[in-house]
Structure 1
Amino acid sequence: MNVNPIEGLLSIAAFLGVVWVGVLEGIVITIGLSFVAFVNEAWRPYRAELVQIPGMRGYHDRSRHPEGHRIDGIVILRFDAPLFFANGGMFTDYVRSVVAAGPEVTTLILAAEPITDIDSTAVDDLVELDDFLANAGITFLIAEMKGPVKDRLARYGLDRRFGPERFAPTVGAAVDAVLGHERDDIGEPSDRS
């Protein structure tokens, strides 16, 4: 069985802490190191551009599916962590770099299901990103955002800026709304083998 290297190091730290400084102190040290490891992981989360694969439902990670393709004018991005002070700037930098590197973009869709929370610093980053995209003529839509995160945006007063028209229940619904029609390259679920 393979062990995550970070978990292995935390186990060793727990053992050495207990041996060298005592049980309670060793556990406290390990909890502190675990917190640092958690923040480090959330600070640099997995990011993905999602693409369409002809004949396959959904939208998939471009780095894992090179056969996929962008939809003309649309970029779909996923950020797999809560947005908070440590990664909000990284999130906006990532979005800007993908938009700048691709062909002409008219719509950016954020697949927000993995974003389970957002703090006030990240809200500021989100507003700055929205302004940047609007100035570039790019519509910013958010798909699959969880209700509690939408509630948090409303508490920050962003429900006026990000009205219901900016949210979609799924990435597919957002793409369909932008294109003005549903995907026609896939059949009904019962048609697939």
Structure 2
Amino acid sequence: ANFLSQAVISGFISAAAILIGFSQVKHLLGIKIPQTESFLSTVTAIFQESPHLNGITLILGGLSIALLLYFNRGLGQYLKSRGIPESIIIPLTKSGPLIVVIASSIVVGLFHLDQSFGVKVVGEIPKGFPPLTLPNLDLNHLQLLGTSALAISFVGFMEAFSVGQFLASKQRKKVEANQELIALGSANITASFTGGYPITGGLSRSVVNYSAGANTGLASVITAVFLMLTVLVLTPLFYYLPQTSLAGIILVAVGNLLDFSTLKRLWQYNKLDAMTWCGTFVAVLFTRAEQGIIIGVFISLLLHLVRTSKPHIAIVGRVGNTEHFRNILRHPVTTCPHILAVRVDESLYFVNTKYLENYLLKLVTEQKEIEYLLLVCSGINLIDGSALETLQHLIDDLKGMGIEFYLSEVKGPVFDQLEKVGFVDKLGRDRIFLSTDQAMKELSQRV
């Protein structure tokens, strides 16, 4: 889950919102289109069937959306201007979906719009609970379905976690990935005894829940209790519930998830992150949701490699008479022409060490008076095996050019690793300084 960056999550949520929105258009227009997972096929089918739309269905869906938007945006301001207490305003404004469901069902039932004008309704819903059964653990089935089951569990968790993290960020809360995994696993094991669908955190249902003002898991418990009562005794009441009203509820809910403001902010701050957002968005929109989010993760990792392949390298000098050393391009500093002090602001690994080696060799080739090269390691948290090999080759090349190599401000874990493989003794402990200030003072005396 740590590989799901904010750009990946935001791009996935925005594209998924569009997919869900277009999947509801057929109910809003009262048209029939074939079931497809392709966004382009869905859009094409909608345009082809749009001349056959049901006007009454469209009007009913449009009124549902208008009522929901008024409850979300206008009603609260109106009630506040009339001096209504906040404790009353909040439940009233959040009751929009419930009122839409009740009102539209009454209208369709009273005027028989399903029979007279072909308005599609939910229809007959079976009563009661599914029977408890033992899951089939046949070995042949396990071999046949094992790979698919792993893929479903992986994608289901990623979708649930990304939706949860996105909604939690709106309230400045955190989602624990391990706890989410345990919860989803427990729920799916339980569902296997009732023949249920694989359980995950659905985007549309989560957003409707969030839009209704849910803040804790108690909302889901209350929902479950009401679902139990509904399945047992209230299913006949939903016969006349028009599908267009349900589509309106979902469209209004997912409309709030279009997160293009994040794309704008990322483009201004870091264009590589913006590219990750766009890549995830396009992948989810034009492939499938599970493939899209995996593609987004790979794009994010690839761009991370690109970003770290050319680490920031600064030539540093002393700031006044202090012990501080800063970039010569940013601060007025004092340098010594015979000492080249370079700070690398990135861990060294196989992707970027050749770039560092070429950069340093080019500097010492251009500045013939350099006698000492000091590598400031304050920004280096790791030196992998490939980087260490490159570093040793660099030291040998510098030695052949008559230039001595030194280190300063090596972090403890990095020093331990270097010491473990004998690099410290080979270089010489006297060539590794605790601070850059100490190194520059001693090397300046030698000059």
AA at the equivalent of 2:350: F
The answer as to whether partners of 1:75 and 1:105 remain within 8 angstroms in 2 is: yes
Question: How many pairs does the alignment contain?
Answer: 180
Separation in 1, partners of 2:430, 2:382: 21
- 2:379 corresponds to which residue? 114
How many Å apart are 1:180 and its aligned residue? Answer: 4.1
Give matches, 1:138-177, under 5 Å. Answer: 138-177=403-442
Alignment of 1:15-164 (within 5 A): 15-65=281-331, 67-164=332-429
Spell out, residue by residue over 1:48-74, the C-alpha distance to the aligned partner (whole angstroms, 9 max, x if none): 111234345411112223x43421411
Per-residue CA distance 1:86-133 (angstroms, 9 max, x = gap)? 221211111111112225112111011112111222111111111122
The one-letter amino acid of 1:139's match is E
TM-score normalized by the length of structure 2: 0.38
| 1:16 aligned partner, one-letter code | V
Structure 2 unpaired stretches of 5+: 1-264
1: CA distance, partners of 2:340 / 2:430 = 18
**CA apart distance, 1:162:** 2.5
SS of the residue corresponding to residue 78 of structure 1 reads: strand
Report the residue type matching 1:118 in the other structure. Answer: I
Q: Please identify the structure whose Cα radius of gyration is greater.
A: 2
Supply the distance in 2 between the matched residues of 1:45 and 1:159 (Cα, whole angstroms).
Answer: 24
Q: Percent identity?
A: 24
One-letter code of the match for 1:22?
A: R
Q: Which has the higher contact order (CA 8 A, sep 6+)?
A: 2
TM-score w.r.t. the length of structure 1 is: 0.84
Structure with a larger share of its residues in strand: 1
Deviation at 1:23, TM superposition (A): 2.5
Farther-moved stretch of structure 1 (151-160 vs 25-34): 151-160
Secondary structure in 1 matching 2:375: strand
Unaligned runs of 5+ in 1: 182-193
Amino acid at match of 1:38: H
RMSD: 2.0
